[in-house]
Structure 1
Amino acid sequence: MAFASTAPPIAPAMDWPVADPDGAPIEAVRAIRDAIDAHVTDLLATLPTA
């Protein structure tokens, strides 16, 4: 397939275990936010710098 040979490689999917904040108390939502922040921070640390 010509498209596949010219398309840029696709990054692997990442699946982070993040709880659903719907209806959760604010403390739980903040903990979820902090967990997402930690995952993103870790991911950014693995990316090459320009």
Structure 2
Amino acid sequence: MLTPENIQMWINLIGNSGFPIAITIYLFVRFEKKMENLETVIIRRLNKNEE
């Protein structure tokens, strides 16, 4: 059951954790792009070596 104390606790938790979560998501998105680029380069290299 939600009580005013529980609601306040959740608001504080989200407020305190919001910034780190946003930074983590941003970094994961950037990391994913770099991994996709790395994958493309590796596949090109492997295809080039097979020829």
Which structure would you say has the larger Rg? Answer: 2
Q: TM-score, normalised by structure 1?
A: 0.46
TM-score, normalized by length of structure 2? 0.45
Query: Relative to total residues, which structure has the larger helix share, 1 or 2?
Result: 2
Bigger relative contact order (CA 8 A; separation at least 6): 1
